[in-house]
């Protein structure tokens, strides 16, 4: 080749490109037809006018969701590829008819679940990840979204008319189930912003030790409970080794992970006095799983997963006796919708500190979870446990 002479690329083959284009278009059309039929079976119309119908802004959505499942569905919503007047209604319809099972499983999701099977994604070293990524995102967000007490768990709506009443009723229910008396020493595993510790210390005159892995929560909780017999510790639950009259854990077990369920229960057993009670308040799943939803894991609750009754039962074997099991998962739908309404009302004040993509992500999180609880795919359990059984039996409180 002469100096300075450029090597010419071979001429493109028009037949090859035409075949590739036809293949791509056929795949897009196949995906569109398949997704449209699946949604139709769930009562969802593409570009329809009902609240649960979805509006498509990008036709590539169909093949993206077919390839990527729930992760792709959530990410494409964040990207603005589709909209829906009521995401909660849409998700509820899809889950209620098992529509998502029609989308084929991809190898990357198989690998995701295998990683949960092989590795301990909730080890001590990794335990702080969810605190840093989710709970430390900003107290201003949670103060705007939650009730006046900053309770980030399901409310008890049996007689409540609003979120504040539902959360106070939940705390009172917990205290009555544990039969709290003045002067008792209570352990709160996963104490959040200290809301339960403050309530129990003020209303039932008990001493509370709360533990959390979130720096933002710990700082806030210490200020909130200032002047009360409440101690807030920034530690992992596995480091606790002292005796308490009763133990409570509200909305923390979802971060423990199946590989640590037995360890968690052993910690609770060693820290509970022989005649004490342990109240476990947790979101639950209707079947045993080895990992969480890929979208929630990536964007909302890293390393989180929901336990099944079977997994909890195995974890407490020879350690605890179940005295009471109370399922009020339907109330989480009401709680999440209240949080969503609060978040959207506060968005004009929040948007200077959070991006538009964050807004879509957070809306999708709240509304999709509300839809999952409405479809009864997810449950909320309050389980009262004792070490040796309550003599004469335990009186269930509702």
Q: Which residues are catalytic?
A: 369
CA distance 12 to 21: 14
Where are the alpha helices (H) located in 289-392, listed in sequence order? 294-299, 309-316, 330-350, 356-374
Q: Degrees (nearest 5) of the Cα angle 233, 231, 164?
A: 100
Task: Please give the structure tokens belonging to residue 292.
Answer: 């969480």
Helix (H) or strand (E) holding 305: none
Evaluate whether 319 touches 387 at the Cβ level (below 8 Å). yes
Q: Count other Cβ atoms within 10 Å, centred on residue 259.
A: 17
**Sequence-distant (≥ 6) Cβ neighbours of residue 7 within 8 angstroms:** 1
Helix (H) or strand (E) holding 285: strand 272-285
| Edge-to-edge strands, sheet with 185-189 | 230-234, 207-212, 185-189, 244-250, 272-285, 378-386, 321-327
Partnered with residue 325 across adjacent β-strands are: 383
DSSP state, residue 135: I
CA distance 167 to 163: 6
| Residue keyed to tokens 């974890």 | 315
Which CA distances in Å does 204 have to 153, 175, 176, 214? 20, 8, 10, 26
Evaluate whether 385 touches 278 at the Cβ level (below 8 Å). yes
Task: Please give the structure tokens belonging to residue 278.
Answer: 């342990």
**Sequence-distant (≥ 6) Cβ neighbours of residue 159 within 8 angstroms:** 165, 169
DSSP state, residue 79: T
CA distance 341 to 348: 13
Task: Please give the structure tokens belonging to residue 25.
Answer: 């278009």
């Amino acid at each position: 080749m002469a100096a300075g002479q450029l090597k010419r690329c071979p001429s493109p083959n028009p037949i090859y490109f035409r075949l590739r284009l036809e293949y791509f278009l056929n795949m897009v059309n196949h995906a569109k037809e398949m997704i449209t039929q699946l949604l139709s079976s769930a009562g969802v119309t593409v570009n329809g006018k009902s609240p649960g119908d979805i509006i498509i802004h990008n036709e590539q959505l169909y093949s993206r969701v077919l390839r990527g499942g729930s992760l792709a569905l959530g990410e494409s919503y964040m990207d603005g590829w589709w909209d829906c007047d009521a995401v909660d209604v849409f998700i509820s319809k899809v889950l209620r008819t098992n529509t998502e099972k029609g989308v084929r499983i991809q190898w990357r999701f198989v690998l995701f679940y295998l990683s949960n099977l092989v590795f301990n994604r909730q080890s001590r070293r990794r335990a702080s990840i969810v605190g840093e990524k989710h709970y430390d995102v900003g107290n201003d967000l949670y103060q705007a979204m939650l009730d006046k007490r900053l309770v980030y768990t399901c409310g008890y709506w049996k007689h409540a008319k609003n979120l504040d009443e539902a959360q106070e009723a939940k705390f009172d229910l917990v205290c009555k189930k544990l039969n709290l008396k003045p002067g008792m020493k209570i352990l709160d595993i996963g104490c959040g912003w200290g809301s339960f510790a403050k309530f129990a210390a003020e209303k039932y005159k008990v001493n509370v030790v709360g533990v959390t892995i979130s720096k933002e929560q710990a700082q806030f909780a210490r200020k909130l409970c200032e002047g009360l017999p409440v101690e807030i510790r920034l530690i992992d639950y596995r480091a606790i080794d002292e005796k308490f009259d009763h133990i409570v854990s509200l909305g923390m077990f979802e971060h423990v992970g199946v590989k640590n369920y037995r360890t968690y229960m052993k910690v609770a057993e060693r820290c509970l006095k022989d005649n004490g009670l342990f109240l476990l308040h947790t979101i639950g799943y209707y079947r045993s799983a080895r990992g969480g939803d890929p979208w929630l894991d990536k964007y909302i609750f890293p390393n989180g997963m929901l336990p099944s009754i079977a997994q909890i039962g195995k974890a407490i074997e020879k350690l605890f006796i179940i005295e009471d099991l109370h399922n009020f998962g339907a109330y989480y739908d009401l709680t999440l919708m209240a949080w969503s309404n609060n978040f959207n009302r506060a968005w004009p004040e929040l948007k200077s500190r959070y991006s538009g993509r964050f807004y879509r992500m957070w809306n999708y999180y709240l509304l999709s979870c509300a839809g999952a609880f409405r479809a009864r795919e997810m449950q909320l359990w309050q389980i009262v446990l004792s070490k040796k059984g309550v003599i004469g039996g335990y009186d269930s409180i509702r």
